[in-house]
């Protein structure tokens, strides 16, 4: 049998050393704990092994072993030893975690490893920053019992799955709220779902990674489920919203950056498109209300929209990212929408008005150069457009004569 070393040891009453089976005493257990903590502290994954010699008369060949009924011994086993494995994180993960932190994304580690191993890995990849302490670290540094440490004094937290199993919802919410760096160790897939629900209660947009069948509920519950394309099961891929083709955490960060870039560029394109509405509408309003000659013709507007607006609006979609795109806090989806009040006010109230004012300035300057001052233009629309009137007097009492040619 193999599994979590501490659980394997609890089922053992003897230990196999140098070809001899000896009774498991406190000295052996202490040696086991020291070796386990040393290997786990190096960030290595440790597995315990044990066996049991089954009597042939009770367990003949072909015996129907059933894990559900547990019709075989599960205690009084013989401990064989520990095996540690090095499963180093990818080289790009620490940089990806740092980018997440600068972008305001909280990275929570959920693993089935022992807390010691999980903590060592979290420190290696930057999930627990250098200098940030857990409650156990503070207690060890001050040489005081853990119970005397205020949990809020610790920026980092390592939570064991056994604690999470009996933890009240309010207590879990406090951990998620007051600790910036959190590691959940020895957790089950069901507890992963509880953690996702707790993060969502904080109002967060939650993305979850998973590869196994048991991860499917958490992937389905999360706002963004991310399955592994190489190591992931078919069930997890179906439950996920996104599949990592290279199983690399850094690809998620790249996806976040691309998503922010697309959102920014769409806002730029929309703002540019909306801005031209004011300088196109206001000439018609002035034409109707002030009775002036039409400043902007219909064909001219079509030429502007189809000729000069279309290409720049499309080109804005290919803008390069801003230098601070991964240094901003995540947007609030309930407030910071694609088209919001701020964008409307800038497009219409500021840039649109400036463009409209510039257009009217050009219009009145051209008309003044041709003898029609702004005061003379008021109410002259009907005479300007009338085919029955041949001559029109400008501001300098000059007559403008219309010529008609009949074939």
Taken in order of first residue, the domains within the chain and their CATH numbers are: 2-85 (3.40.1110.10), 92-254 (3.40.50.1000), 257-400 (no CATH)
- pLDDT tens track for 231-273: 888 999 999 999 999 989 999 999 999 999 999 999 999 999 8
| Model pLDDT, residue 185 | 92
CA distance 84 to 114: 12
CA angle (108 as vertex; 171, 133 as ends), nearest 5: 75
Residue 381 has pLDDT above 80, yes or no: no
CA distance 32 to 16: 13
Judged on CB neighbours under 10 Å (0-12, 13-18, 19+), 129 is middle
CA distance 292 to 280: 15
CA distance 96 to 246: 15
* CB contact at 8 A, 172 and 157: no
| Model pLDDT, residue 102 | 92
Please report the sign of the dihedral spanned by the C-alpha atoms of residue 173, residue 175, residue 179, residue 184: negative
- pLDDT tens track for 180-197: 999 999 998 889 999 999
* CB contact at 8 A, 106 and 175: no
| Model pLDDT, residue 149 | 87
Q: Using alpha carbons only, how large is the chain's radius of gyration in Å?
A: 36
Please report the sign of the dihedral spanned by the C-alpha atoms of residue 222, residue 227, residue 231, residue 237: positive
* Mean pLDDT to the nearest integer, 303-311: 83
What share of the chain has pLDDT > 90, as a percent? Answer: 44
| Model pLDDT, residue 407 | 41
CA distance 71 to 183: 37
Residue 176 has pLDDT above 80, yes or no: yes
CA distance 249 to 254: 9
CA angle (358 as vertex; 354, 363 as ends), nearest 5: 145
Residue 405 has pLDDT above 50, yes or no: no
Calculate the CA dihedral of residues 157, 160, 165, 167 and round it to 10 degrees: -30
pLDDT tier at 354 (50, 70, 90 boundaries)?
very high
| Model pLDDT, residue 90 | 85
Alpha helices in 103-221 (DSSP H): 115-125, 135-142, 161-165, 169-178, 189-201, 216-221
pLDDT tier at 136 (50, 70, 90 boundaries)?
confident
pLDDT tier at 406 (50, 70, 90 boundaries)?
very low
Residue 403 has pLDDT above 60, yes or no: no
Average pLDDT, the chain: 88
pLDDT tier at 399 (50, 70, 90 boundaries)?
low
CA distance 338 to 298: 30
| Model pLDDT, residue 393 | 64
- For 186, the 3-state DSSP assignment is coil
- For 204, the 3-state DSSP assignment is coil
């Amino acid at each position: 049998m193999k599994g979590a070393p501490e659980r394997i040891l609890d089922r053992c009453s003897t230990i196999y050393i140098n070809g001899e089976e000896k009774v498991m005493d406190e000295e052996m257990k202490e040696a086991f704990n020291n070796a386990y903590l040393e290997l786990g502290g190096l960030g290595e994954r440790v597995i315990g092994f044990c066996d049991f010699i089954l009597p042939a008369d009770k367990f003949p060949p072909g015996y129907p072993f059933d894990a559900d009924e547990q019709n075989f011994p599960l205690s009084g086993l013989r401990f064989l030893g520990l095996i540690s494995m090095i499963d180093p994180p990818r080289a790009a993960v620490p940089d990806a975690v740092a980018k997440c932190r600068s972008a305001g994304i909280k990275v929570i580690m959920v693993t089935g490893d022992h807390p010691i191993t999980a903590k060592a890995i979290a420190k290696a990849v930057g999930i627990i920053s250098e200098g940030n302490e857990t409650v156990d670290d503070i207690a060890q540094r001050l040489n005081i019992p853990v119970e005397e440490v205020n949990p809020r004094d610790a920026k980092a937290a390592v939570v064991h799955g056994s604690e999470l199993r009996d933890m009240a919802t309010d207590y879990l919410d406090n951990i998620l709220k007051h600790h910036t760096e959190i590691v959940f160790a020895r957790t089950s897939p069901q507890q992963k779902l509880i953690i996702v629900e707790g993060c969502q209660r904080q109002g967060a947009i939650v993305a979850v990674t998973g590869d196994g069948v048991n991860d499917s509920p958490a992937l389905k519950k999360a706002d963004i489920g991310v399955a592994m394309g190489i190591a992931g099961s078919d069930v997890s891929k179906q439950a996920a919203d996104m599949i990592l083709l290279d199983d690399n955490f850094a690809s998620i960060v790249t996806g976040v950056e691309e998503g922010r870039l697309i959102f920014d560029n769409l806002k730029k394109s929309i703002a540019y498109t909306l801005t031209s509405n004011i300088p196109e509408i206001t000439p018609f309003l002035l034409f109707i209300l002030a009775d002036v000659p039409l400043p902007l013709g219909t064909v001219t507007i079509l030429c502007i929209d189809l000729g000069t607006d279309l290409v720049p609006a499309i080109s804005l979609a290919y803008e390069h990212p801003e230098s601070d795109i991964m240094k901003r806090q995540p947007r609030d989806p309930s407030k910071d929408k694609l088209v919001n009040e701020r964008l409307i006010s800038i497009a219409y109230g500021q840039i649109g008005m400036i463009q409209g004012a510039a257009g009217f300035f050009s219009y009145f300057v051209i008309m003044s150069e041709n003898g029609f001052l702004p005061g003379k233009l008021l109410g002259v629309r009907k005479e300007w457009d009338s085919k029955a009137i041949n001559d029109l007097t400008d501001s300098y009492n000059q007559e403008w004569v219309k010529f008609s040619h009949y074939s």
